[in-house]
Structure 1
Amino acid sequence: MDKTTDRRIIKSKKAIQSAFLEMLLDDGFDAITVKDMTEKADISRKTFYLHYLDKYDLLNEIVDGTIEELTELCEKKKDLGFVEGTVLWFNYFENHKPFFNALFSTESTITFRHRLLDFIMEQLNLKLEEVSSQKNTEVLRKFMAMAVLGVLESYVLNQFHVGIEEIAKQVGELLEQIILQAQITSDPSPCKTPPQPPC
């Protein structure tokens, strides 16, 4: 593939994704059609199907990018305190609130919820492995991940009357207490390192 072709592909996919995101925010996922997307992006349907199977395939690629950004964010904040790291993570959702609002507003994007839940559980598992010698932490991980996801969903759907900083601080403190308790339960020794942010 030469550079000219590569640039055309990038340009086409960027136009498609831009049109999709604009329609997602304005109309909601369920109302989006390939026909409307291609008209808005000023490309042919043939060009769309060269890159994506359907709008769900397009959404999956965008969600992949979102998970990558969250993973990079987790790497950047590894050395922060638990509460500070949680605030930084929640601020990502604040900065992309309309996008997440659109995704959480319809059952058609339930795959996104599952992907995000799995991601949160994976990151929590890394932290639990650091502080707890318990072998079976599946229930604890699922409990905490569902709690975090539920709070995030309520926030982006405007169901809270407090700011993101306060929400993140409370969530961070609660997770810290839960993980600290798991740490104490698995090893009563007082000489353990304090828990770190969930990712």
Structure 2
Amino acid sequence: MDMPPRRTLNRQHTIQDIESAFLEIYQRDGIDGVSIAGICQVCGIARSTFYLYFEDKFAVLQGVEDRLLSALWEICRNLPDIMDHSSATDTALRTITHIRENLDWYRVLLSNRGDPMFVYRWKKDIVKSLRRKLEQRNVNELDAVIQGVMFSSALIGLYTHITMECPDIPDQTLCRYMDDLLARSLKPISPR
């Protein structure tokens, strides 16, 4: 296996250092407390080095959010049959693994200091992925949208609670909650 060139490794390392410094300050002080000078001080780089990689502090945040949401989309974009719980559990386990691997970021992004746009974009992705499956089951468009919104809101609420309050909950238990949440959200809406 070929190793990436040294320059590429240095670039990746510098970006990781900047993101880690950003996270450290963001966790402590919120976005208003993050400054370019603070980031540079924490990771020991010059301002000019920061600007080689990022336009401003919001570009750091946007880059991390884009990466996290892209990884979630790759896991969930082609959901298996939503009523096949064994396949759904595999998708849920992969999602849980991703969140646990990036727990510090999810904790700050889902906290009261987090970015509401991150949650909004995540909900839209969940709704989009689930909506396709509901439409394949001939659920009308309005019901598919509403069920997707209900599921995405409840699911992100569950993830928020887990990341903030009980991060050590076993994966299989969390999957059981997620399966139950999905089943409740997808219950056919009875006409009035």
TM-score range, shorter chain: 0.7 to 0.9
Q: Does 1:94 align with 2:100?
A: yes
Contact 1:87/1:169 (CA < 8 Å) preserved in 2? no
Question: Residue 14 of structure 2 is aligned with which of 9, 12, 16?
Answer: 12
Distance in 1 between residues matched to 2:137 and 2:46, nearest whole Å: 54
Q: Which amino acid aligns with 1:144?
A: F
- Structure-1 residue corresponding to 2:154: 147
- Structure-1 residue corresponding to 2:174: 167
Aligned-pair CA distance for 1:149: 1.0
Aligned-pair CA distance for 1:147: 0.8
Distance in 2 between residues matched to 1:4 and 1:94, nearest whole Å: 29
Aligned-pair CA distance for 1:41: 2.0
Count of residues paired in the alignment: 181
User: What is the TM-score of this pair, normalised by structure 1?
Assistant: 0.73
- Structure 1 gaps, min length 5: 186-199
User: What is the TM-score of this pair, normalised by structure 2?
Assistant: 0.75
Distance in 2 between residues matched to 1:150 and 1:64, nearest whole Å: 20
Q: Which amino acid aligns with 1:51?
A: Y
Aligned-pair CA distance for 1:61: 0.4
SS in structure 1 opposite 2:55?
coil
SS in structure 1 opposite 2:165?
coil
Percent identity, aligned pairs only, is 18
Distance in 1 between residues matched to 2:68 and 2:162, nearest whole Å: 18
Contact 1:84/1:169 (CA < 8 Å) preserved in 2? no
Aligned-pair CA distance for 1:146: 0.7
SS in structure 1 opposite 2:19?
helix
Any idea what the Cα deviations from partners look like across 1:113-137, whole Å, max 9, x if unmatched? 1121122112211221222341222
Any idea what the Cα deviations from partners look like across 1:83-141, whole Å, max 9, x if unmatched? 44324323322333222112222345222111211221122112212223412222221
